[in-house]
Structure 1
Protein backbone atom coordinates (compact mmCIF):
# COMPACT_ATOMS: atom_id res chain seq x y z
CA UNK A 1 0.00 0.00 0.00
CA UNK A 2 1.36 3.40 -0.92
CA UNK A 3 2.11 6.06 1.67
CA UNK A 4 -0.47 8.53 0.28
CA UNK A 5 -3.16 5.85 0.53
CA UNK A 6 -2.17 5.08 4.12
CA UNK A 7 -2.24 8.80 4.95
CA UNK A 8 -5.65 9.07 3.34
CA UNK A 9 -6.92 6.18 5.47
CA UNK A 10 -5.71 7.97 8.60
CA UNK A 11 -7.44 11.18 7.53
CA UNK A 12 -10.65 9.27 6.80
CA UNK A 13 -10.64 7.70 10.24
CA UNK A 14 -9.99 11.05 11.97
CA UNK A 15 -12.82 12.75 10.09
CA UNK A 16 -15.13 9.79 10.71
CA UNK A 17 -14.50 9.95 14.46
CA UNK A 18 -15.02 13.70 14.42
CA UNK A 19 -18.32 13.23 12.62
CA UNK A 20 -19.52 10.63 15.14
CA UNK A 21 -18.63 12.90 18.05
CA UNK A 22 -20.29 16.03 16.75
CA UNK A 23 -23.36 14.14 15.49
CA UNK A 24 -23.95 12.88 19.04
CA UNK A 25 -24.04 16.47 20.29
CA UNK A 26 -25.97 18.15 17.49
CA UNK A 27 -28.74 17.54 15.02
CA UNK A 28 -27.86 15.60 11.87
CA UNK A 29 -28.95 18.67 9.89
CA UNK A 30 -26.64 21.01 11.80
CA UNK A 31 -24.40 22.87 9.31
CA UNK A 32 -21.21 21.65 11.01
CA UNK A 33 -22.37 18.01 10.88
CA UNK A 34 -23.24 18.42 7.20
CA UNK A 35 -19.87 20.07 6.48
CA UNK A 36 -17.91 17.26 8.14
CA UNK A 37 -20.06 14.64 6.41
CA UNK A 38 -19.33 16.23 3.04
CA UNK A 39 -15.62 16.29 3.85
CA UNK A 40 -15.77 12.58 4.69
CA UNK A 41 -17.64 11.90 1.44
CA UNK A 42 -14.90 13.67 -0.52
CA UNK A 43 -12.17 11.69 1.23
CA UNK A 44 -13.98 8.41 0.60
CA UNK A 45 -14.42 9.30 -3.07
CA UNK A 46 -10.72 10.10 -3.32
CA UNK A 47 -9.86 6.79 -1.66
CA UNK A 48 -12.13 4.90 -4.05
CA UNK A 49 -10.45 6.53 -7.06
CA UNK A 50 -7.00 5.56 -5.81
CA UNK A 51 -8.08 2.01 -4.91
CA UNK A 52 -9.64 1.25 -8.28
Structure 2
Protein backbone atom coordinates (compact mmCIF):
# COMPACT_ATOMS: atom_id res chain seq x y z
CA UNK A 1 0.00 0.00 0.00
CA UNK A 2 1.24 3.46 -0.86
CA UNK A 3 0.81 4.88 2.64
CA UNK A 4 2.75 1.99 4.17
CA UNK A 5 5.61 2.63 1.76
CA UNK A 6 5.55 6.31 2.74
CA UNK A 7 5.56 5.52 6.48
CA UNK A 8 8.42 3.06 6.05
CA UNK A 9 10.47 5.83 4.46
CA UNK A 10 10.71 4.33 0.98
CA UNK A 11 11.41 6.70 -1.88
CA UNK A 12 8.18 7.71 -3.61
CA UNK A 13 7.46 10.12 -6.43
CA UNK A 14 5.97 13.58 -6.02
CA UNK A 15 2.68 12.31 -7.45
CA UNK A 16 2.61 9.55 -4.85
CA UNK A 17 3.36 12.07 -2.09
CA UNK A 18 0.47 14.19 -3.34
CA UNK A 19 -1.81 11.14 -3.17
CA UNK A 20 -0.66 10.37 0.39
CA UNK A 21 -1.47 13.96 1.39
CA UNK A 22 -4.89 13.66 -0.26
CA UNK A 23 -5.64 10.40 1.56
CA UNK A 24 -4.47 11.83 4.88
CA UNK A 25 -6.79 14.83 4.47
CA UNK A 26 -9.69 12.51 3.61
CA UNK A 27 -9.04 10.29 6.66
CA UNK A 28 -8.66 13.36 8.89
CA UNK A 29 -12.04 14.68 7.70
CA UNK A 30 -13.70 11.31 8.20
CA UNK A 31 -12.26 10.78 11.67
CA UNK A 32 -13.46 14.22 12.73
CA UNK A 33 -16.98 13.20 11.62
CA UNK A 34 -18.15 11.16 14.62
CA UNK A 35 -21.19 9.70 12.82
CA UNK A 36 -18.96 8.28 10.06
CA UNK A 37 -16.58 6.88 12.66
CA UNK A 38 -19.36 5.24 14.69
CA UNK A 39 -20.92 3.71 11.56
CA UNK A 40 -17.60 2.11 10.61
CA UNK A 41 -17.02 0.93 14.17
CA UNK A 42 -20.50 -0.60 14.39
CA UNK A 43 -20.05 -2.38 11.05
CA UNK A 44 -16.95 -4.11 12.41
CA UNK A 45 -18.61 -4.98 15.72
CA UNK A 46 -21.64 -6.41 13.91
CA UNK A 47 -19.32 -8.49 11.74
CA UNK A 48 -17.69 -9.96 14.84
CA UNK A 49 -21.08 -10.96 16.24
CA UNK A 50 -21.76 -13.00 13.10
CA UNK A 51 -18.88 -15.40 13.86
Normalised TM-score (structure 2)? 0.45
Q: Taking CA–CA contacts closer than 8 Å with sequence separation of 6 or more, which of the two structures ends up with the larger relative contact order?
A: 1
- Whose radius of gyration is greater, 1 or 2? 2
Greater percentage in helix: 1
Normalised TM-score (structure 1)? 0.45
